Amino acid sequence: MRLFLIGSSLGRYLRGLLAMRSFAVLCGLGGLFQVLDLLETSTEILSRGQGFTGILHYTALRSPSVLLQALPLAALLGAIFSFSTLSRQNEICAMRAAGLPFRRVLLALLPIAIAIGLVHGALAEIIVPKAQKALTAWWASLPPSADKDPDTELLWFRTGGAVVGVATVLPDGKRLDQVRIYRRDELGNLVDRTVAARAEYAAGQWTLFDAVTTDLRAGQRDLSQPVQPWATPLKPADLMRLSASEPYVSGVLAAQVLAGSQAGTKTDSFYRTRIARAYSDPLAALVMLLLATPVAIALTRGGAGGVQVLGALATGLVFLLVNGLLSALGEAGTLAPRLAAWIAPALFAAIGLVFVFRLDRH
């Protein structure tokens, strides 16, 4: 009978309550984050002569990334607001008086947590990479800002078993200036170095111009060639992505970089951690739902409800902080990638389950 109630009108009511509040919070947080982002970039967009239309175009392309950042916090606040509403209207008391364990309430809400996790995965692995690729291409096609000096620092990345540095990447990614290529053998030892004035991409092939190759295994022997083919899996789209200020790395892209089919600028530990987090991050919504359960027993009289809300909010924020710190350790190679990705979700999910069982005992 209890399962029937949760699966019918009561279950739909609970899921609708959580879904609407989570969506409302997501829209609010997304709008706030977008405004803060525009405060930093709107001047640059206007200085490139794009006007209000350019700001709208930038906002549309940046929205998926902003929503991805706001989603875990929206799941936490949506659960807090939902449980606070149920507690304030004494609906939790009514359900418990009818003999309904609180864990069954959570089971009724589980589909919403799963749906949020699926949305998180779709954003992280499909929508955000495509949106950032379009944003990078659009940004590179704009004329440079009149009051900004060009960046002369080398862009370093790995591709095809070589380490490559370039001074300038043209907006379409089909020309590179001041190219340096360092090739290594299977043991990681340097084999040769190639320095070229430029590299151009045409008909699916890269060509180096005014290239000088130094064979480091043969006593610094130099070989100069005015035109030299460059065998590399590098594509112009890869260079446009790599030259972005903060390139987004999805789990799929990280796996491709480790396999050698895509170029990358980070260490192997960084990409392995990103792959592990591609599986653990969608579970953040479930963890947030568990951490918000103390609010369900909050009493509005005497201010106790505010204490429960602040406690749940603080616990959720600590989870995000610890998860980020552990991921940074994994990306730096200090911690194993799988441990870095899974310790925080497992630990805080266990804390949330303790909250649930304590609530059912009282």
Residue range 37-56, pLDDT digits in tens = 898 888 888 877 788 898 99
Confidence band, pLDDT 50/70/90 cuts, at residue 66: very high
Among 47-51, 194-198, 268-272, 352-356, the minimum mean pLDDT is found in 47-51
The 10s digit of each residue's pLDDT in 126-164 is 999 999 888 877 877 776 655 544 444 678 888 777 888
Query: Cα Rg for the chain, rounded, in angstroms?
Result: 26
Which has more confidence, 360 or 334?
Answer: 334
pLDDT tens for residues 234-257?
A: 888 777 777 666 677 888 888 888
Structure tokens at 353: 């389950």
Confirm whether 254 is domain-assigned. no
The answer to whether position 258 is within a domain reads no
Say how far apart CA 281 and CA 326 lie, in whole Å.
13
Arithmetic mean of pLDDT, 24-48: 89
Which structural domain range is residue 195 located in? Answer: 161-232
Is the pLDDT score of 299 beyond 60?
Answer: no
Domain membership of residue 154 (yes or no) is: no
CA distance 148 to 45: 12
Q: Are residues 17 and 123 in the same domain?
A: yes
Edge-first strand order for the sheet with 190-202 is 155-159, 162-169, 175-184, 190-202, 205-215, 221-230
Asked if residues 352 and 290 have their Cβ atoms less than 8 Å apart, the reply is: yes
Give the residue-averaged pLDDT of 337-345. Answer: 95
pLDDT at 174: 84
Q: d(Cα 323, Cα 134) in Å, to the nearest integer?
A: 29
- Residue 150's pLDDT is 45
Same domain for 197 and 345, yes or no, is: no
**Of the ranges 102-116, 232-246, 286-300, which is most confident?**
102-116
Q: What is the rounded CA–CA span in Å between residue 2 and residue 36?
A: 46
| pLDDT confidence of residue 260 | 77
Residue 107 and residue 184 in one domain:
no
Q: Does residue 215 share a domain with residue 339?
A: no
Residues 104 and 16 in one domain: yes
In a domain, 186, yes or no: yes
* Helices and strands, number each (H, E), in the chain: 12, 6
pLDDT for the residue 147: 52
Instruction: Among 97-111, 136-150, 179-193, 329-343, name the most confident range.
Output: 329-343
pLDDT band at 4 (very low <50, low <70, confident <90, very high): very low
Q: Which residues neighbour 175 within 8 Å (Cβ) at sequence distance 6 or greater?
A: 169, 198, 199, 200, 201
- Give the model's confidence band at 1: pLDDT under 50 very low, under 70 low, under 90 confident, else very high: very low
**Segment 288-303 mean pLDDT:** 74
Where is average pLDDT lowest: 49-53, 152-156, 270-274, 287-291? 152-156
* Residues 70 and 200 occupy one common structural domain: no
Domain count along the chain: 2
Supply the mean pLDDT for the chain.
84
Q: What are φ and ψ of residue 359, in 5° steps?
A: -65, -40
Of the chain, the percentage scoring pLDDT greater than 70 comes to 89
**At 213, is the secondary structure helix, strand, or coil?**
strand
User: Where does a domain end: 232, 249, 278?
Assistant: 232
Residue 94 and residue 221 share a domain: no
The whole-number pLDDT of residue 146 equals 53
Instruction: Mark residue 210 as left, alpha or beta (left: phi above 0; alpha: psi -120 to 50; beta: remaining).
Output: left
**pLDDT value at position 302?**
43
Q: What is the mean pLDDT of residues 72-84?
A: 93
What pLDDT score does 304 carry? 53
Judge if 218 and 272 occupy the same domain: no
Using pLDDT thresholds of 50, 70 and 90, give the confidence band for residue 97.
confident
What are the backbone angles phi and psi of residue 168, rounded to the nearest 5°?
-140, 135
pLDDT of amino acid 29: 95
Given 212, 232, 252, which residue is the final one in a domain?
A: 232
What's the rounded mean pLDDT across residues 73-95? Answer: 87
Q: Is residue 227 part of a domain?
A: yes
Q: How many CB atoms lie within 10 A of CB 350?
A: 11
pLDDT at 305 over 90: no
Tokens of 347: 């630990």
Indicate whether 28 and 77 sit together in one domain: yes
